[in-house]
């Protein structure tokens, strides 16, 4: 089963987490095999789209027999980078930061939150689950000493670039950015944005029939 | 200036909010005109991508003179549906629900939150800014009587479909869904998902070089 990494387009990358979620649900229901047609009914992509996507990175299906759910789940997990653990910190312990800290599902997938940071003295020292909110002044030392992989930015947009620079200069390779600003980083750093305003405007656009 | 609505693909729709954000910043800096080349430098899309996108829905640029920032901002705002107000409710007043309720930027764009709903007696009666958290039992009556346009679902996934059904059957046309589940709705209802786990898996995928 060879993975043809270089053939995965950004459009497919964006669909992979959804495949992963549906395949997990199938596994939990003890489903061993599934056809592209049945998977299509559940996941909402067309069967031909599914065959095309899954062909991109390996040979999982047998004509007429369907996909092996466990194999496919495992292989997609590997492509998603889930065969390792990630050490994360959250910067900004407001509502969004606390919400992310409370998502225990991330931990099950191997994403472990090591600390939250804030500059608000009223928050410093508090705990979200068992994760302590620390003084933002400790951020750089902590990130460096603990080999943090991913920094989650939940601060107001005017602070976001500065926080990003501090994370990256101390070894962080991935930034999950909730601030409504586009961060500037070197090419080897990955930024994934959650821009809530843009999502809401997409909703209103579609409600007004803007899509063809 | 004619809007060619039917030519806007989903890929363009997804880029429109970003254009809108950058154009607002230009307006705030009193920039009147901008070339596709200069816009490209700021926004990160290629100049030819920008010309192609903006050609989709009107004639804003003059060869060699650039785009009129105010006109383009207004027209993109119209396509995004921002020439009207939206009445919204949030269901689920946990961290995510409270975070969304605290985003005052949405209000500036015409999205007004009328109420939050929760089933937790400790939360009912509290206020986030000036918005009261009400008993979830009031949801259907409130949505119907106040002609709510958009429902924001911030409840655990096992409750999400039921909440969605209640919103839709009382007149809601758009669902902004933060629960990690794909909701089933009729064709005339728009759902925009914010699936945080999928965003995080996209990040780890890209950190492992999965994109071509």
Q: What is the pLDDT of residue A3?
A: 42
Res. B65 pLDDT band, cuts 50 70 90:
confident
Q: What is the pLDDT of residue B151?
A: 98
Contacts of B177 by beta carbon, 8 Å cutoff, 6+ apart: B153, B160, B164, B183, B191, B192, B193, B194
Per-window interface: B 31-70 vs A, CB < 8 A: 44
Gap between the Cα atoms of B75 and A205, Å rounded: 12
Residue from A209, A165, A179 nearest B21 by CA: A179
Q: Counting beta carbons within 10 angstroms of the beta carbon of residue A115, is it exposed (0 to 12), middle (13 to 18) or buried (19 or more)? A: buried
Res. B3 pLDDT band, cuts 50 70 90:
very low
Give buried/exposed letters for B92-110 (b at 16+ CB in 10 A, else e): bbbbbbbbbbebeebeebe
Express each pLDDT in A108-162 by its tens digit. 999 999 999 999 999 999 999 999 999 999 999 999 999 999 999 999 999 999 9
Find which of A10, A16, A17 to mutate to test the B interface (most B CBs within 10 Å of its CB). Answer: A17
On chain A, the residues whose CB falls within 8 A of the CB of B158 are none
Res. B58 pLDDT band, cuts 50 70 90:
low
Contacts 24+ apart (CB under 8 A), A187-190: A190/B203, A190/B206, A190/B207
Quote the DSSP letter at residue A210.
-
Q: How close, in Å, is residue B51 to chain A by CA atoms?
A: 18
User: CB distance from B168 to chain A under 8 Å?
Assistant: no
Express each pLDDT in A42-56 by its tens digit. 999 999 999 888 887
Q: What is the pLDDT of residue A117?
A: 98
Q: What is the pLDDT of residue B195?
A: 93
Residue from A162, A84, A89, A92 nearest A131 by CA: A89
Res. A4 pLDDT band, cuts 50 70 90:
very low
Q: How far is CA B72 from the centre of its chain?
A: 19
Residues B34-59, mean pLDDT to the nearest whole number = 86
**Collapsing DSSP states into helix, strand and coil, what is residue A51?**
helix
Q: What is the pLDDT of residue B138?
A: 98
Res. B63 pLDDT band, cuts 50 70 90:
low
Strand arrangement of the beta sheet that strand A190-193 belongs to: A127-128, A131-135, A111-118, A86-91, A150-153, A174-177, A190-193
ipTM above 0.85, yes or no: yes
Per-window interface: A 112-131 vs B, CB < 8 A: none
Express each pLDDT in B87-111 by its tens digit. 999 999 998 999 999 888 889 999 9
Residues A25-38, mean pLDDT to the nearest whole number = 92
All structural domains of chain B? 5-79 (1.10.10.10), 86-198 (3.40.50.720)
Q: What are phi and psi of A62, to 5 degrees?
A: -110, 130
Which chain A residue's Cα is nearest to B203? A192
Gap between the Cα atoms of A143 and A87, Å rounded: 9
Q: How far is CA B158 from CA A107, A205, B126, B161, in A?
A: 20, 28, 25, 7
Q: What is the pLDDT of residue A1?
A: 38
% of chain B exceeding 90 in pLDDT? 75
DSSP result, A92-159: --SHHHHHHHH-HHHHHTTEEEEEEEES-TTTTT-EETTEEEEEGGGHHHHHHHTT--EEEE-S-HHH
Rounded to 10 degrees, what is the CA torsion of A179, A184, A185, A191? 40
Q: How close, in Å, is residue A165 to chain B by CA atoms?
A: 17
Cα angle vertex B168, ends B8, A43, to 5°?
A: 60
Chain mean pLDDT for chain A: 91
Lowest model confidence (mean pLDDT) among A46-50, A131-135, B146-150, B182-186: A46-50
User: CB distance from B5 to chain A under 8 Å?
Assistant: yes
Nearest CB to A203 within list B100, B174, B211:
B174
* Cβ–Cβ gap A201/B16 under 8 Å: yes
Residues B148-177, mean pLDDT to the nearest whole number = 97
Contact B181, B161 (CB under 8 A): yes
Q: Counting beta carbons within 10 angstroms of the beta carbon of residue B156, is it exposed (0 to 12), middle (13 to 18) or buried (19 or more)? A: exposed
Q: Per DSSP, what are the bridge partners of residue B113?
A: B88
Find which of A200, A209, A211 to mutate to test the B interface (most B CBs within 10 Å of its CB). Answer: A200
Contact A150, A88 (CB under 8 A): yes
User: CB distance from A197 to chain B under 8 Å?
Assistant: yes
| Bridging pattern class, strands B174-177 and B150-153 | parallel
Nearest CB to A197 within list B6, B17, B202:
B17
Q: How close, in Å, is residue A193 to chain B by CA atoms?
A: 8
* Cβ–Cβ gap A13/B206 under 8 Å: yes
Q: How close, in Å, is residue A212 to chain B by CA atoms?
A: 4
Q: What is the pLDDT of residue A59?
A: 67
User: CB distance from B158 to chain A under 8 Å?
Assistant: no
pLDDT at A101 over 50: yes
Express each pLDDT in B190-209 by its tens digit. 999 999 999 999 999 999 99
Which chain A residue's Cα is nearest to B78? A205
Q: How far is CA B157 from CA A73, A112, B163, in A?
A: 21, 22, 10
Res. A2 pLDDT band, cuts 50 70 90:
very low
Find which of B6, B9, B14, B81 to mutate to test the A interface (most A CBs within 10 Å of its CB). Answer: B81
Q: What is the pLDDT of residue B41?
A: 92
* Cβ–Cβ gap A199/B209 under 8 Å: no
Residues annotated within the binding site of B for NAD(+) are 92-97
Q: What is the pLDDT of residue A97?
A: 94
Residues annotated within the binding site of B are 92-97
On chain A, the residues whose CB falls within 8 A of the CB of B151 are none
């Amino acid at each position: 089963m060879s993975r043809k990494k270089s053939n995965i387009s950004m459009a497919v990358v964006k669909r992979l987490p959804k495949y992963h979620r549906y395949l997990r649900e199938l596994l939990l229901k003890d489903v061993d095999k599934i056809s592209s047609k049945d998977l299509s009914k559940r996941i909402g992509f067309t069967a031909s789209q599914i065959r095309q996507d899954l062909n991109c990175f390996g040979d999982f299906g047998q004509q007429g027999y369907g996909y092996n759910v466990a194999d496919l789940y495992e292989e997609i997990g590997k492509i998603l980078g889930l065969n390792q653990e990630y050490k994360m910190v959250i910067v900004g312990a407001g509502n969004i930061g606390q919400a992310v800290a409370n998502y225990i599902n991330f931990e099950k997938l191997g994403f472990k939150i090591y600390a939250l940071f804030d500059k608000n003295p009223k928050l410093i020292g508090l705990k979200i689950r068992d994760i302590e909110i620390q003084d933002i002044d400790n951020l750089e030392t902590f990130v460096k000493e603990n080999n943090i992989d991913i920094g989650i930015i939940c601060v107001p947009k005017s602070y976001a670039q500065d926080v990003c620079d501090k994370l990256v200069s101390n070894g962080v390779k991935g930034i999950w950015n909730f601030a409504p600003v586009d961060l500037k980083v070197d090419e080897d750093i990955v930024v994934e944005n959650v821009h809530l305003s843009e999502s809401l405007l997409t909703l209103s656009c579609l409600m007004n029939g803007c899509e063809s």
